[in-house]
Amino acid sequence: MKHFGLATLFVGLFSTGTAWTQQPSAVDVQATGQRNVILIIGDGMDDQQITIARNYLAGAQGKLLLDEMPLRGAVQILTIEDKVDGQPVYVADSANTATSMATGVITSRGRLATSAGDNRPLPTIVELADAAGYRTGVVSTASVTDATPSAFAAHISFRLCQGPDLMLEIVYSDIPLGGCPDEIKAKGGLGSVAEQLAESDLDVVLGGGGRYFDMTAEGSTSTVRELAIDNGFTFVSSASELADAASADRLLGLFSRDTMPVRLRGEDGREAEAPQSSWLNQAHRYLGSVTQPAPMDCEPNPEFAGMPSLKAMTEAALAVLARKDSAGFFLMIESASIDKQSHERKPCGSIGEMEQLDEALASALAFAQANPNTLILVTADHSQAAQLIPAESLFAAYPIPVFSPGKLARIRTPEGRLMAVNYATSNFFMEEHTGANVPVFGNAEAQGRVPAFLSQPELFNIMKDYLGLE
């Protein structure tokens, strides 16, 4: 089964304005002696993305709640070829990096909790925690079948096999991308990602991806959503239903057909644009002029109206998971569209997702304040394409028409300044990931447990050891 080549280009793609506040909101739970782990993943959240969001949300001299965490370190991203004992690959995708954090094993791009080359299922921290009596959950602003959430509870060789209709062959714009034909249930496999989530022991699954659960399950007349309900999940599909679901024993919430809408967008849907040079400049780089993209504002995305925020989903998950009849819980929370909006060269969308992550972190910290045995880690799966560059080239004073060869968004900030965000990894319709280290932040429980520099598989070991898992 061949997944890569052109398929690799598409992995990671298919895939916000209230005021930011530093005050944690209250979460109505009782303190217990249980141990809990809350892992918050900003997909594509590197220092460039954090700085861009900080400048917009808090100002150049301000701080996000993220910046106030007592621990900060750096995480090394590790990836290998799709071979047993494969050689290093220096830029990752979300599937293999989430797998590293979920299983402690380095694997190849596109894989979800399976080993490179021989396709062995790898036990995840969710499965280990379930077996030890912990409650477990995943929350995401992406489809819950997307790479990051599903790596914690599903096993499959190719991340795009998200629903039963996509197992045999996935085609995008008449381009065959591959499939998972040997992993259908009829051949003894575990089935699609959606089917695995529906039949899992997870207690909370919240996010987008309704279309995969509306597909008919393999060998059944029931939809995948009906399988999940038969497995004991209470199903909700709106913000109001979510608000009333705190008493559910197990909760499945699907609030959009695929990735959930972002909170912010560029005005009228604008994205980064290429600067336009004059004919004289094209003849000689020191001559002529260049027209930069017009400044843009970030505005509320009308499609976000009525959606539950990441904060609301986080608090609903905590209410369901924090039950006294368990050893504690493991919860993964993903702000997914930092990455997805960067693929599409839409910095306002990424900023809104960073804001949502900060709000979810506030709720997690409020919970941890009432429940001291709670480890909170905030990190990213990989770095992304956005670069903060001068709004006007330093060479413009001479004057020399120097400009970015990529695509550029010039954003008006609440401070009344222009912030230039550049994208230049690809001439394709999407940007690609980059290979830099990513940050990790932790609450007081992380101090003494998380070193200043570590690899993603070490995060798995830290979380496993904190929960006392074998």
DSSP string, 6-24: HHHHHTTT----PPP--SP
Is residue 179 within 8 Å of residue 169, measured between CB atoms? yes
The one-letter code for the residue type at 406 is: G
Q: Locate tokens 């004992």: which residue?
A: 85
Q: Locate tokens 């909370």: which residue?
A: 204
**What are φ and ψ of residue 291, in 5° steps?**
-100, 115
User: How far is C-alpha 130 from the chain's CA centre?
Assistant: 23
94 is catalytic: yes
Beta strands in 144-286 (DSSP E): 170-172, 175-178, 204-208, 234-236, 251-254, 264-266, 276-277
**C-alpha separations of 326 from 134, 152, 329, 416, 445 in Å:** 6, 20, 8, 51, 20
CB atoms within 10 A of CB 407: 20
Is residue 138 within 8 Å of residue 332, measured between CB atoms? yes
ω into 121 cis (within 30 of 0): no
The one-letter code for the residue type at 366 is: A
Q: 17, exposed or middle or buried, with CB in 10 Å at 0-12, 13-18, 19+?
A: middle
User: How far is C-alpha 140 from the chain's CA centre?
Assistant: 7
Measured between alpha carbons, how far is 123 from 105 in angstroms, rounded to an integer? 10
Out of 94, 100, 143, 363, the active site residue is 94
First to last CA, the chain: 34
Q: Which residues are catalytic?
A: 94
